[in-house]
Structure 1
């Protein structure tokens, strides 16, 4: 029997009156010769299905979509593609949580990969919003779903990504909550005398992220030169404190320290040495901010300390990140170039800085107007 060429087909009428189109092809993944049949009430219908299958093969897609369910594929994607990637542990845990809580649930989770349509994804977005989820969370779920489906396309399980045909949920970037210099001073004064004062002050004066400050080690601090290096971040993942690399290259940065912060950190190190002499067992990991036994501080305890200090200062709706926002705002209002502020904050893109810190105080706006007007003032007439 002569070997059939790839994509060759035939059409025949079956005994029950329906039509069958047979397609002979080589599986692009295995190289194995296969045959697939397509059925229709008419010869034209059977030929149409076979023609579409040929077009899929020509485009490098599978001859037919996988019957694997969305739930099965999402978990496989997590266990292979995501696990093998360079994504941070916290990001992997987030993806797993979103798959478990949203993408594995019916009706979408029980649908076969090849039957998911753009309208099914749009229906998911509507359900998520109806549940009262924040728009940022809805956007995050959509992004994970789109990445998972793109992985299915790459693996030859489906011909195209239905999520790529859906307009992504958009969120309006809101201006960051910030405190005035006077409010930050009052908050820090309320934290003075606690174990968290030095940490909160360093964040307030350098714009460090909470995780970056908690991961700071003494070998990354040069008090003689008055600078520190941001090398890592500390987060709690599945109950454990984990130190990992910064998310972006821009997050790895060197920050200058003002003389007051150099003096504060020097005093902090001396106090830490006193504690070391009093404790029999000390965790020798070199963290700058630690518990009484040298272990890194728990982010949750830092948040509690911040909340208590803010309440005592008469401030509400603030968290540790508010100190970072307040530092950035103070720099911009003092006339520091937005590009320099972006570098200090470790933003991956200067546009993030411009969007988040687009606010300018009324006093600064008025001063700018007055300054320009004064420079254009007409000379006095004789």
Structure 2
């Protein structure tokens, strides 16, 4: 009675709901998640995580009134494998994040007195040291891309010359390109959502930005505009006017996964290991920092939500940059 009275006085339900976690999570996905300000691609990821790791699990069948922190811990321990395949630490962390969001809503709606997931340690993810390319390696990669994947080589070159994210480059429209001023306006990101390609909101508010580009990038985009004009004339009957800078020969958006395949082929041909699309963004950041650009300037150029992220993610610079920093410190004395 004392426990019930304390719950009532605290504005909590007298007893937690008898509804199962899975039933509520399904309703949450169709209501709270659907109207949340999260990006559509993020919502799709959350739904996929629920389908893969919560629905049909033992935890999904537990009712709120019987849910304990131990149940969540057991669920996480069982997420090390799925259908015989290992589950990455990053995926386990994402699954936990979604479960915690579901239980936060249950708490808000008065179905539970507390969110037990909040008492469980969030799965840790050890961030691997990012791979970056030296200017020489970058040149090798781009030359290889021009030979092996000429259609995607301009995309890869723009990525390394601007530090744009893959989705940002593929969502870039001509109306946001000022070649005379040498600027690009980033206003969206191309992603596959619900089985189709669509331009969604940028990753963060600071991802909306205007960046300056150099003469070589301007030249690259002028060549791209001429190439697109030739495609338009050649495929007039099939042309789809999207306004995008990078398109297929018929004007439709470029499949992001094809860019991933193209860089894999180019890296293999160039003899470069562990190179991904994001490696180009990391390389661009390392080159800017290595040539004396301030952390704040690089952070704004990359569209990070805070300068701390720039320092954390792109702090592992090339040995010659670290050597230069050491010499600068030594010369101060």
Distance 1:86 1:365 in 2: 41
Structure 2 partner of 1:315: 272
What SS class does the counterpart of residue 139 from structure 1 fall into? Answer: helix
Give how far 1:120 is off: 1.1
1:197 to 153, 157, 161: 153
Structure 1 partner of 2:22: 71
Structure 1 partner of 2:248: 291
- Considering fraction of residues, name the structure with more helix: 2
What SS class does the counterpart of residue 95 from structure 2 fall into? Answer: helix
1:208 to 144, 153, 164: 164
Distance 2:42 2:308 in 1: 23
Assess if the C-alpha contact under 8 Å between 1:118 and 1:165 holds in 2: yes
Structure of higher CA gyration radius: 1
Assess if the C-alpha contact under 8 Å between 1:174 and 1:356 holds in 2: no
Higher relative contact order (CA 8 A, sep 6+): 2
User: Within the alignment, does 1:357 sit opposite 2:297 as a pair?
Assistant: no
User: Within the alignment, does 1:252 sit opposite 2:203 as a pair?
Assistant: no
Give how far 1:107 is off: 1.3
Structure 1 partner of 2:129: 175
Structure 2 partner of 1:144: 98
Distance 1:322 1:262 in 2: 22
Give how far 1:357 is off: 1.4
Give how far 1:130 is off: 5.6
Structure 2 partner of 1:53: 4
What SS class does the counterpart of residue 228 from structure 1 fall into? Answer: strand
1:262 to 201, 218, 222: 218
User: Within the alignment, does 1:218 sit opposite 2:174 as a pair?
Assistant: yes
User: Within the alignment, does 1:331 sit opposite 2:288 as a pair?
Assistant: yes
- Pair 1:52–1:375, CA change in 2 (3 A): closer
1:134 to 88, 91, 115: 88
Structure 2 partner of 1:166: 120
Query: Which ranges of structure 2 fall in alignment gaps of 5 or more residues?
Result: none
Give how far 1:309 is off: 1.0
Assess if the C-alpha contact under 8 Å between 1:175 and 1:355 holds in 2: no
User: Within the alignment, does 1:124 sit opposite 2:70 as a pair?
Assistant: no
What SS class does the counterpart of residue 79 from structure 2 fall into? Answer: helix
Query: Which ranges of structure 1 fall in alignment gaps of 5 or more residues?
Result: 1-49, 377-382
1:300 to 251, 254, 257: 257
- Provide TM-score, normalisation by structure 2: 0.94
- Provide TM-score, normalisation by structure 1: 0.83
Distance 1:130 1:245 in 2: 33
Give how far 1:368 is off: 2.6
Shift >4 Å, 4+ stretches: none
Distance 1:305 1:374 in 2: 45
Structure 2 partner of 1:341: 298
Higher alpha-carbon deviation: 69-78 or 356-365: 356-365
Distance 1:371 1:149 in 2: 52
Distance 1:86 1:368 in 2: 42
CA RMSD of aligned residues (A): 1.4
Structure 1 partner of 2:31: 80
What SS class does the counterpart of residue 282 from structure 2 fall into? Answer: helix
Give how far 1:356 is off: 1.1
What SS class does the counterpart of residue 234 from structure 1 fall into? Answer: strand
1:242 to 183, 198, 203: 198
